[in-house]
């Protein structure tokens, strides 16, 4: 009895003890797993983070600067081109047809072309030249592809390759000319250069060439780091970032509206005259600021063909020609400056026929006598021959050089020609002194003549013509330039004033009557020169007008040259160049650059 009671009591004491041990073990296990979980969490927090993604890099192409007209129009600008590629294995084979159809719709690419591309393996580049809008469309499509499982991860060489999706990145830069052939060939064009797989524009002609170092981009942006699920680089402290530096923008002195009007005038005149080319220019006489440099021979810089090759040169600076009678006021002003002739002095001009060496010189107007001034007004070659003999060779040579002939004008255009004047020893010759005086035996460029004539209406200064008004820096600040430092006085105010009156008389009474415009003071001189071919003067002519137009506030130098008009009996400058100059002056009034004096 007592033994049974003892066993029962013993068992009843052992049950609570075993329960206590079990609870303690369970508690320890819970603590262990809690500590283990805490350790894992702390390890994840404090150990270097390994993102479940891959490192990717992006190159951001810096852009070439924009060229603007003075009235705010975008003449030449750049836009990015994009390439798109895809890993073929990332596309679910069961959804390949859907991928091709949707990609073709969003990209605008031919479905058959996309399918042929995807017959290859590996990373397939589907296009190198997507525009920004198409690239944006494809980025949006890429998100849909990912959402609907068209892309997949796959196993390769024992590892899981994550979804890659479409890779859309910049492939280069395209140059855009928004107004087709306007302002060409002065604006110029670019060629494409390949650099590290990227397409970059480089200036070849015109303003694009001259200011290439300012316009060209300076540094591409570069970004490298881990990507997120949207295929964007995570900008963490571990990422590599290099800022992109674009080219600077340039604002030209040319207002597009006026330039377009003048180009239209030249286009219409070229049809009527059947000329090889017509060029025209307008320059502020006092500053050298170019308002217009125009030609009817233009090209679309975005679509240059072999037919355009003859039009690519800016002939206002790249072509020289014998000027004919427009040189006469230059020689006359040299004589006036040295007091070698009096405007009222009378010369025998032999009724328009004169012997110069072995050449017979004929004037278009037959007169026995003429004053020195009227030799200019009515354009007598015979009178010029006689007056020019009073210049010794040194004065003749220095005088031509002082007006800028045989020297570059230093306008901001490339490939400028110097022209040609006879040497001092050549100018000892009676014949050469005479032939140069009426525009032969020397060669000038259009722009040399334009700035030479400006001296007659700006008190005798030779200015430097320019096309860049100002630059816009990378932080959008205006950078102005002092364009008047290079002005050089070549005529006294007296001589310049006398020449101005003579040229006004030439328009009112002489060979340039058709340039007259009511309410505007116009002065100038015409010139008609035969074109030399194979060492002989043929039946092709160059007709030109150079002069000025002024109102109470502004003075502009104007030049027009018609190269080789093919209309019979319409080769004289009074029939070709002066009507064009008249229309140009009227266009300037319409656009508010000249205001008629009441």
Mean pLDDT in the chain? 89
User: Does residue 156 carry a pLDDT above 70?
Assistant: yes
Please give the tally of structural domains in the chain. 3
Q: CB atoms < 10 A from the CB of 390, how many?
A: 14
Instruction: Give pLDDT, residue 49.
Output: 46
Instruction: Give pLDDT, residue 152.
Output: 87
Same domain, 428 and 495: yes
- Nearest C-alpha neighbor of 432 from the set 379, 383, 396: 396
Q: Is residue 183 a part of any domain in this protein?
A: yes
Residue indicated by tokens 């000027």: 323
DSSP string, 349-405: -GGGEEEETTEEEE-SS--SEEEHHHHHHTT-HHHHHHHHTTS-HHHHHHHHHHTTT
pLDDT digits (tens, 9 = 90+) for 110-139: 999 999 999 998 889 998 888 889 989 999
Q: Is residue 197 a part of any domain in this protein?
A: yes
User: Does residue 187 carry a pLDDT above 90?
Assistant: yes
Helices (H) and strands (E) in the chain, counts: 16, 27
Q: Is residue 352 a part of any domain in this protein?
A: no
Same domain, 206 and 298: no
pLDDT digits (tens, 9 = 90+) for 211-246: 999 999 888 777 777 666 555 666 666 666 777 789
Same domain, 202 and 77: yes
| Separation of alpha carbons 117 and 111, rounded Å | 10
Same domain, 191 and 263: no
Q: Is residue 309 a part of any domain in this protein?
A: no
Instruction: Give pLDDT, residue 398.
Output: 98
Q: At what angle do helices 132-147 and 96-107 cross, to 10 degrees?
A: 150
User: Does residue 3 carry a pLDDT above 60?
Assistant: no
Using CA atoms, how far residue 521 sits from 71, 501, 505, in Å, is 26, 10, 11
DSSP symbol at 75: E
Q: What are phi and psi of 44, to 5 degrees?
A: -65, -35
Q: What are phi and psi of 524, to 5 degrees?
A: 170, 180
User: Residue 295 in 3-state DSSP?
Assistant: strand
Same domain, 137 and 155: yes
Same domain, 248 and 261: no
Same domain, 391 and 276: yes
Residue that terminates a domain, selected from 214, 232, 252? 252
pTM above 0.85, yes or no: no
Residues contacting residue 273 through CB under 8 Å, at least 6 positions apart? 562, 565, 566, 567, 570, 576
pLDDT digits (tens, 9 = 90+) for 426-456: 999 999 999 999 999 999 999 999 999 999 9
Better-scored residue on pLDDT, 473 or 559? 559
Using CA atoms, how far residue 459 sits from 274, 330, 431, 505, in Å, is 38, 14, 32, 18
Q: Is 64 exposed, middle or buried (0-12, 13-18, 19+ CB in 10 A)?
A: buried
Same domain, 268 and 188: no
The number of C-alpha atoms within 13 Å of 538 and in the hemisphere containing its C-beta is 10
| Separation of alpha carbons 456 and 460, rounded Å | 6
Mean of pLDDT values over 281-298: 97
Q: Residue 135 belongs to a domain with what CATH number?
A: 3.90.1310.10
CA dihedral 212, 217, 218, 224 (to 10 degrees): -160
Same domain, 59 and 36: no
Residue that terminates a domain, selected from 252, 270, 288? 252
Same domain, 380 and 260: yes
User: Does residue 52 carry a pLDDT above 50?
Assistant: no
Same domain, 275 and 158: no
* CA 169 to chain centroid: 27
Residue-range definition of the domain harbouring residue 16: 1-47
Q: CB atoms < 10 A from the CB of 389, how many?
A: 14
Which H or E run contains 98? helix 96-107
Mean of pLDDT values over 71-76: 96
Residue that terminates a domain, selected from 11, 29, 47? 47
Same domain, 222 and 156: yes
pLDDT digits (tens, 9 = 90+) for 159-175: 877 777 898 888 888 89
Q: Is residue 308 a part of any domain in this protein?
A: no
Q: Is residue 348 a part of any domain in this protein?
A: no
Using CA atoms, how far residue 539 sits from 201, 531, 560, in Å, is 43, 7, 20
Q: 199: pLDDT confidence band, cut at 50, 70 and 90?
A: confident
Q: Is residue 354 a part of any domain in this protein?
A: no
Q: Is residue 351 a part of any domain in this protein?
A: no
Q: Residue 428 belongs to a domain with what CATH number?
A: 3.40.710.10
Bridge partners for 78 per DSSP? 175
């Amino acid at each position: 009895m007592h033994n049974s009671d003892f066993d029962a009591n013993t068992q009843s004491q052992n049950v609570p003890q075993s329960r206590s041990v079990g609870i303690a073990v369970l508690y320890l296990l819970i603590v262990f797993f809690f500590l283990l979980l805490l350790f894992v969490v702390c390890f994840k927090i404090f150990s270097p983070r390994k993102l479940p993604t891959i490192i990717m890099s992006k190159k951001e192409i810096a852009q070439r600067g924009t060229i603007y007209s003075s009235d705010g129009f975008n003449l030449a600008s750049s836009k990015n081109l994009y390439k798109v590629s895809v890993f073929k294995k990332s596309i679910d084979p069961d959804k390949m047809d859907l991928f091709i159809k949707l990609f073709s719709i969003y990209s605008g690419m031919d479905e058959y072309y996309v399918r042929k591309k995807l017959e290859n393996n590996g990373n397939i580049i589907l296009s190198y030249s997507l525009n920004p809008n198409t690239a944006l469309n494809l980025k949006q499509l890429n998100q849909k592809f990912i959402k609907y499982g068209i892309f997949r991860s796959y196993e390769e060489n024992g590892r899981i390759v994550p979804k890659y999706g479409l890779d859309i990145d910049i492939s280069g830069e395209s140059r855009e000319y928004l107004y087709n052939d306007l302002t060409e060939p002065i604006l110029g064009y670019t060629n494409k250069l390949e650099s590290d797989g990227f397409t970059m524009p480089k200036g070849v002609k015109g303003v694009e060439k001259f200011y290439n170092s300012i316009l060209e981009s300076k540094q591409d942006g570069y970004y490298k780091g881990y990507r997120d699920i949207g295929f964007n680089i995570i900008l963490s402290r571990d990422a590599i970032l290099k800022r992109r530096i674009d080219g600077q923008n340039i604002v030209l002195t040319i207002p597009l509206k006026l330039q377009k009007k003048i180009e239209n005038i030249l286009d219409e005149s070229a049809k009527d005259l059947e000329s090889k080319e017509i060029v025209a220019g307008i320059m502020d006489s006092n500053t050298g600021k170019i308002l217009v440099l125009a030609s009817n021979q233009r090209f679309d810089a975005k679509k240059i063909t072999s037919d355009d090759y003859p039009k690519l040169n800016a002939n206002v600076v790249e072509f020289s020609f014998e000027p004919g009678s427009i040189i006469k006021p230059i020689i006359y002003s040299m004589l006036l400056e040295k007091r070698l002739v009096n405007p009222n002095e009378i010369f025998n001009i032999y009724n328009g026929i004169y012997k110069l060496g072995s050449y017979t010189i004929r004037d278009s107007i037959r007169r026995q006598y003429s004053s020195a001034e009227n030799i200019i007004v009515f354009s007598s070659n015979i009178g010029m021959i006689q007056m020019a003999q009073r210049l010794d060779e040194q004065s003749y040579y220095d005088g031509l050089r002082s007006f800028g002939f045989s020297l570059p004008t230093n306008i901001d255009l490339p490939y400028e020609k110097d022209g040609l004047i006879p040497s001092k020893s050549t100018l000892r010759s009676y014949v050469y002194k005479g032939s140069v005086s009426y525009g032969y035996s020397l060669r000038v460029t259009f722009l040399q003549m334009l700035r030479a004539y400006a001296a007659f209406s700006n008190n005798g200064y030779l200015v430097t013509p320019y096309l860049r008004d100002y630059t816009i820096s990378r932080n959008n600040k205006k950078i102005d330039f002092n364009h008047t430092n290079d002005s050089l006085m070549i005529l006294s105010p007296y001589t310049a004033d006398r020449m101005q009156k003579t040229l006004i008389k030439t328009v009112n009474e002489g060979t340039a009557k058709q340039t007259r415009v009511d309410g505007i003071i116009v002065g100038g001189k015409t010139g008609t020169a035969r074109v030399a071919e194979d060492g002989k003067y043929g039946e092709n002519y160059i007709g030109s007008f150079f002069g000025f137009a002024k109102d109470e506030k502004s003075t502009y130098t104007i030049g027009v040259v018609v190269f080789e008009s093919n209309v019979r009996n319409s080769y004289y400058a009074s029939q070709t160049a002066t009507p064009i100059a008249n229309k140009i002056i009227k266009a300037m009034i319409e656009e508010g650059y000249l205001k008629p004096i009441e």
